Amino acid sequence: MMGSFALDISRFVQKTGLKPDVVLRKLAFTAYRNLILKSPVDTGRFRASWRIGVDVVDLSTYPEVTHKGIAQGGYADPPPDDSGVQAVIGTAKFGQVIFITNNLPYAQPLEDGSSKQAPQGVLAITMAELRSGFQATVNSVK
């Protein structure tokens, strides 16, 4: 699935003369932000556990946090730290693999539709939108 998409990107950037590194970074950042926005929120831990790595898979998750005022077992719902994500994505060169992962044990059930907030998951939808919105993303790079 991903291999053909990467090949399509490669052919497109060669044809248009755009800088492939910039296109790759823009696509990765768009995918990451869309995953954050589509993530169902109960405690906020799932949303906060999206990780990004260039040629490496980040296996960490957002730690369990309990505070006064948050129900026991609840988690803080911090805003996404785009500056850290931009720093990681900013190192990517065309041809490298950017991994966006969520390693919580319930990430796969959520993707499989266990959440009423995201009954069709988030990853598959985000990838489909990324493919269909490819031209718009490239136009934003020009």
- pTM (2 d.p.): 0.76
Q: pLDDT digit string (tens) for 28-84?
A: 999 999 999 999 988 888 998 999 999 999 998 887 765 544 444 444 444 455 678
Q: Identify the weakest region by mean pLDDT among 17-26, 104-113, 115-124.
A: 17-26
Distance between CA atoms of 95 and 93, rounded to whole angstroms? Answer: 6
pLDDT value of position 119? 94
Per the structure block, which two tokens stand in for 97? 């693999």
Judge residue 28's burial from the number of C-beta atoms within 10 Å of its C-beta, 0-12 exposed, 13-18 middle, 19 or more buried: buried
